Amino acid sequence: AKYKKLLFSLCWFHSVLVDRRKFLNLGWNIPYDFNDSDFDVSELCLSLYLDEYEETPWDALKYLIAEINYGGRVTDDWDRRLMNVYMNAFFNDDAISTSNYKLSSLSHYFIPDDGTLQSYREFCVTLPGVDRPEAFGQHPNADIASQISEGSEMLQTIVSLQPRSAEAEGSGPEAKVLVVAGDLSGLIPPPFNVRELLHEQLDEPTPLVTVLVQEMQRYNAVLTKIASSLANLEKAIKGLVVMSSELEVVFNALLEGRVPASWLSAYPSLKPLAAWSRDLLQRIAQLQIWAEQGPPKVFWLTGFTYPTGFLTALMQTSARKNNVSIDSLAWDFQVINLEEKDIMQPPKEGAYVKGLFLEGAGWNYEQSCLAEPEPMELVYSMPIIHFRPVESRARRAGRGVYQCPLYMYPLRTGSRERPSFMIVVDLKSGQSEPEHWVKRGTALLLALDH
């Protein structure tokens, strides 16, 4: 009876891992090809260990199945955490001792009582033909998010297949791109004059001034590249210079409303061209105000090409101020229920940070904790958060705290050159256990894809 129940649990575990891919970023950070060989080896381990030991060796079974057999494919730490949460939920004493042990919040899914192989087959036939997101521990919104993503991908493909021939009245592709290039040329500001803006502060630069200089230099490279690309593209369209392969890539991107890959060297983004250009202007404006008026009271963390560099500078500032080692410091997070205009001065330690987005959960603004999202509310704007460096031994993550990963943008894996993951932000888990939000794929994002 023990073997039959745990084998059913293992079947359910395997099914959840395989089907969770349909939720895209809310499913797995990296899509894995789990297959029947993973299941067969795990089933063999299960039967051997149950035959050998009178008491169920839970720790050994969980480690072999979740960390070795299936976990051998898993390369992301947050995906590994998710797998272990599922393993702990499906492999425990209650799964054996409890009659009709529930495998999800839906009533259809449970471990049937001991019976013949035919009785198990008959039970499986009664299961719904289409699995709702709740079967995986997800929210119904997760289905909507993946469908929107798939729809956008299909529309991008359709746009890329549009004919490129000239239309009547000179409204062909070249005319369209010339208009877009002209608009962008008028929008993009000139590069920063770093020495002129920061001449006094460059003599004895603090960690934050160093970050400001580095950010200005990176944005200068982007602005110079954009201006050069647009100028050469206009000349190429008019026949004054040869249309190189690089300019052709820029031409096709502008025609389809995408950001040319060569413009994304400073920071990654999934935004379309119009949203990206508005976002770039906001980033430039934050640095301009900082250089002219001093550090802002509230920092827009998204506006940095390397946000981790800014956070490290805050750590260095605090370590020097308190005369402690930077290695002894850790982050403490306090949600501030104030509007930016109501904040009169910056904090004594760390910084106030705005502009974070919460995906895979809702936010209770009164209780300052995670909550169930409203239908169709896929992303929530987070309140201002105080990032405060504290000594590691003074910081204790208590119960009811969800360790929420913070990513630079929706593609959680990032790229080989630039990982998307930044740091872990502690958020109160509210009325649900932290494991509930692990199954939801709950995470904070610095930027969205629109």
pLDDT (mean) for 119-133 = 86
> In sequence order, what DSSP letters do the residues of 259-272 get, joined into one string?
--GGGGSSS-----
pLDDT confidence band for 346 (50 / 70 / 90): confident
Q: Which residue has the tokens 């080896």?
A: 41
pLDDT confidence band for 146 (50 / 70 / 90): confident
> In sequence order, what DSSP letters do the residues of 41-90 get, joined into one string?
HHHHHHHHHHHH-SS--HHHHHIIIIIIITGGG---HHHHHHHHHHHHHH
pLDDT confidence band for 432 (50 / 70 / 90): confident
Rounded to 5 degrees, φ, ψ at 161 are -90, 5
Number of H helices, E strands in the chain: 14, 11
pLDDT (mean) for 117-129 = 86
pLDDT confidence band for 324 (50 / 70 / 90): confident
At 170 the pLDDT is 53
pLDDT confidence band for 244 (50 / 70 / 90): confident
At 397 the pLDDT is 60
Percent above pLDDT 70 for the chain: 96
Which H helix or E strand runs over 292? helix 273-293
Percent above pLDDT 90 for the chain: 27
Query: Could you tell me which of 442, 353, 370 has the C-alpha nearest to residue 404?
Result: 442
At 99 the pLDDT is 84
Can you tell me the distance from the alpha carbon of 219 to that of 236, in angstroms, rounded to the nearest whole number?
Answer: 25
Pick 95 or 362 by higher pLDDT.
Answer: 362
Q: Record the tokens describing residue 6, joined without a space.
A: 């745990």
At 55 the pLDDT is 86
Task: Answer whether residue 395 shows pLDDT above 70.
Answer: no
- As a whole number, the mean pLDDT across the chain is 87
pLDDT confidence band for 393 (50 / 70 / 90): low
Task: Answer whether residue 284 shows pLDDT above 90.
Answer: yes
Q: Each residue of 167-212: pLDDT tens digit? A: 545 567 888 888 888 888 888 888 888 888 777 666 677 888 889 9
Rounded to 5 degrees, φ, ψ at 111 are -85, 115
pLDDT confidence band for 424 (50 / 70 / 90): very high
**CA dist 40 → 10, 36, 37, 65, 69 (Å):** 10, 6, 5, 11, 10
According to DSSP, residue 136 is labeled G
Q: Record the tokens describing residue 197, joined without a space.
A: 């803006």
Pick 450 or 124 by higher pLDDT.
Answer: 124
At 152 the pLDDT is 82
Among the ranges given (162-166, 343-347, 363-367, 372-376), the one the predictor scored with the smallest mean pLDDT: 162-166
At 169 the pLDDT is 53
SS3 of residue 357 by DSSP: strand
Report the alpha-carbon angle 324-328-331, nearest 5: 110
Are the C-beta atoms of residues 422 and 302 closer than 8 Å to each other?
no
Task: Answer whether residue 251 shows pLDDT above 70.
Answer: yes
Q: What is the residue type of 428?
A: K
Q: What is the residue type of 25?
A: N
Can you tell me the distance from the alpha carbon of 350 to that of 200, in angstroms, rounded to the nearest whole number?
Answer: 24
Can you tell me the distance from the alpha carbon of 365 to that of 356, in angstroms, rounded to the nearest whole number?
Answer: 14
pLDDT confidence band for 275 (50 / 70 / 90): very high
**Whole-model pTM?**
0.88
